[in-house]
Structure 1
Amino acid sequence: MREIVRTNDAVLISAIEALFTGAHIPYLVLDQNMSILEGSIGMLPRRILVEDDSERAARQLLTDAGLGKELRPQIP
């Protein structure tokens, strides 16, 4: 799995989840439950990961949706 987005923005996470679900791109959102430890202040970023085989399609989808600036650098 590859991390493609890291953000504190809950709205952005929801938008990405909707895009990936609609495009049938498997993904995971990690650190969602960390708000319990941090006191719900939104300090710790959430990480969105996709399967290695889906990374290219996921990056293209986010770029096409105008969210390309949110992408983490691609690791070869």
Structure 2
Amino acid sequence: MLRVLFQAPAVLAACLVGLALGKRAAALVDKVSPPLEVLVALALFAAQAAFSRLWLRGHRDGPVEWFLRALTYGRLPPKQVQPI
């Protein structure tokens, strides 16, 4: 179970680095130590959790759901959390 928790942020981090660096990212393969990979994955996970917490304080949906609703409805959906 613990391995699965570390894999998702590591895969996302690898994708983001690949997009950001392009071909230069391939040069990092097998040159970065596993402990550093774990630290990067944990840092990315912490950043995602912090962003999620801040986003959901003022929005009723996540950012992807909000964007997809905007595309589907053709207008911007309400961003603010509605009081019950």
User: Which structure has the highest strand share of the two?
Assistant: 1
TM-score if structure 2 supplies the norm length?
0.27
TM-score normalised over the length of structure 1: 0.29
The structure with more radius of gyration: 2
RCO (CA 8 Å, sep 6+): is it higher in 1 or 2? Answer: 1
